Amino acid sequence: MSSIRYEIQSLRGVSILAVICFHIAKDKFPNGYLGVDIFFVISGYLITQQLSNLKTYDLTRYLREFYFRRLKRIIPSALSILIITLIVTNLLLGSIALIQNLPDATWSNFFLANWYYLKENLNYFAAGNLNLFQHFWSLAIEEQFYLIWPLLFFFVGIRLWISIVLFVGSFGYFLFSNYPNYFYGTPQRAWELLAGALIAQFGWKAAKINHKVIWLLLLLLLAPWQLPNRVASLFAVILAASFITLAQPQVKKGPLFQLGQISYSLYLVHFPAILILREYLTGITQNKLIAIEIVIISLVSLINYRFVEQPLRNFSYRSQTKTISIYLFAVISFFLITLLVRSHYV
């Protein structure tokens, strides 16, 4: 059996489709944001599998191999979209909108956006916000989890009871925290990633349900009735965990698989594209606006996937350390440039 589980990539496709539908038409798809919860479960599962397969007892090599893969996967596309979004914002919406979004870009650049939005008490569900990088909150939580989880793996090992204790503690914190803490907080969200980690540690049993039930999961995510936030998150995690654990291996690369392939680029692009277009294109019908949004999101995502995400994920110097240093230098450079731009306008 192939080590690649195509049905999980299709699950990513379901998740990103739900998230995009939510941001385009919240009133029609009020539960679409739960795609992010599913992303968390998938990430926890896949990362724990990767850590389990790293065969080394040298801490430096262990961390270098893990973070080398993560940096190549995450940073190039994130930086490219941050830069392009700021340039387009300045061109289409002007310097005021640019300055407004520089703090968001800075925190997003360091994958700390969730803590910034907690500090600002930002309502994720409020209409009218021009926070172009608000969607980086979930990427921030994932990256923070990736900083801690490998260290725990190396020093403590794969101990199921530790994962269970952490899961229960995080879930309890999630239940008894107030909004927006339970929404943006990394400790309150860790249980969703840990749910995926637990599946990886328990092992999965295939050939129990057909992978095509994923279409039913998509229908549930896109249902027109809205569930309470915490109940909805629990519901999404249970569905995602059940699917990963029970689904038969998928052998055909269907449309949801193809969406899953470019889900990271789609996630990065869709939110700022929607906000910028709605701020810039006034006076046209909603249907025309949505059509333009879909076209722009698709084109920019495909371009980013083809010319940024894929080539740079596969490219590296012979030295992993040099490659990591280059990516970190790019992140710090972006931060310094945002400071210079801000000082120029303010």
Confidence at residue 222, expressed as pLDDT on a 0 to 100 scale: 81
- Does residue 262 have a pLDDT over 50? yes
* Reduced 3-state DSSP string for 139-162: HHHHHHHHHHHHHHHHHHCCCHHH
Q: What letter does residue 131 receive in the DSSP assignment? A: -
How do the domains of the chain map onto residue ranges? 6-345
- Does residue 261 have a pLDDT over 80? yes
**Could you identify the residue written with the tokens 């192939």?**
2
Q: Mean pLDDT of all residues in the chain?
A: 87
Query: Measuring CA to CA, how many Å separate 232 from each of 11, 15, 145, 219, 291?
Result: 17, 14, 22, 14, 29
Mean pLDDT value across residues 172-201: 95
If we measure between CA atoms, which residue out of 50, 76, 39 comes closest to residue 312? 76
- Does residue 172 have a pLDDT over 60? yes
Confidence at residue 340, expressed as pLDDT on a 0 to 100 scale: 83
Residue 241 main-chain phi, psi, to 5 deg: -65, -40
Confidence at residue 119, expressed as pLDDT on a 0 to 100 scale: 93
d(CA 272, CA 294): 13
Mean pLDDT value across residues 225-235: 89
Q: Is the whole model's pTM more than 0.85, yes or no? A: yes
For CA atoms 324, 330, 331, 332, the dihedral sign is positive
Contacts of 120 (CB under 8 A, 6+ apart): none
Tokens matching residue 256:
């949801």
Mean pLDDT value across residues 277-299: 95
Confidence at residue 1, expressed as pLDDT on a 0 to 100 scale: 40
Q: Over the stretch 143-160, which tens digit does the pLDDT of each residue have?
A: 999 999 988 877 776 678
Query: Is the omega angle on the peptide bond into residue 180 within 30 degrees of 0, that is, cis?
Result: yes
